[in-house]
Amino acid sequence: MQNNITGKVIVITGASSGLGEATARLLASQGAKIVLAARRADRINALAKELIESGSHAIAVTTDVARRHDVTNLVDITIKTFGHIDVMINNAGVMPLSLVEKLQVEEWEQMVDINLKGVLYGVAAALPHMQSRKSGQFINVASTAGHRVMPTSSVYSATKYAVRAFSEGLRQEVTPHNIRVTIISPGASATELMTHVSDKEIANNLKASADFALPASAFANMVSFAISQPEEVDVNEILFRPTRQEK
């Protein structure tokens, strides 16, 4: 039985660690051709080498999703190498939580640039290619914080709510082009996101969730599920949490 993944060209931003890395490994094992994108060139180059040595097709493209030119270049290299894009996974994100009164404006700007603009740039770069082929899928990563706001998550939640709103509007617009759009909102996950928190008190409080945080492989399985559905099935949104996560 075909998994609808084998042979697909899949671009993954934020692929140097965590959710992106786990997703790259799983999809490569399922026969996808993987394009790894992240700022840390050493990590994605090492991962690409590992995947190639295991028999998969993979390339690494150093990319800062906050720079539109970088994302355009990522898509251009993908098209040049593989001829097309089947799936664009806009996964890169940061989570420097803080109270608004702390006025961490530079961190706010970073979240807007990476979490939101990075998604917009990914869609802007890949959409024309998908439209011309009348085929493709965007997977945009939001968060449970895009469904519920808590103290310290104001700006982070704002970016993730925005990703969800944009993705739903995009979904409605691209239906005539046979393009699928999926939002994935993970709960507590064992990734490097918690290391982005500069406020020591908040960082210490987050450590409490480490006991039940899901491995990155849980997210990878959700991505695989969304992609593997028949082309006429568009999984619009997946929201998941650890069983022990209350909020």
Q: Which of 47, 93, 107 minimizes the C-alpha distance to 192?
A: 93
Which positions are annotated as active-site residues? 156
Q: Which of 112, 196, 195 minimizes the C-alpha distance to 156?
A: 112
- Integer-rounded Cα radius of gyration of the chain: 17
Q: Is 119 helix (H, G, I), strand (E, B) or coil?
A: helix
What is the rounded distance in angstroms from the CA atom of residue 46 to the CA atom of residue 91? 19
What is the rounded distance in angstroms from the CA atom of residue 115 to the CA atom of residue 141? 9
Q: In what order do the strands lie in the sheet with 9-13?
A: 57-62, 33-38, 9-13, 87-90, 136-141, 179-186, 237-240
Q: Is 8 helix (H, G, I), strand (E, B) or coil?
A: coil
- Which residues, in sequence order, are CB contacts of 32 under 8 Å at separation 6+? 5, 6, 7, 8, 9, 10, 56
Q: Which of 18, 7, 5 minimizes the C-alpha distance to 194?
A: 18
Are 130 and 136 spatial neighbours (Cβ–Cβ below 8 Å)? Answer: yes
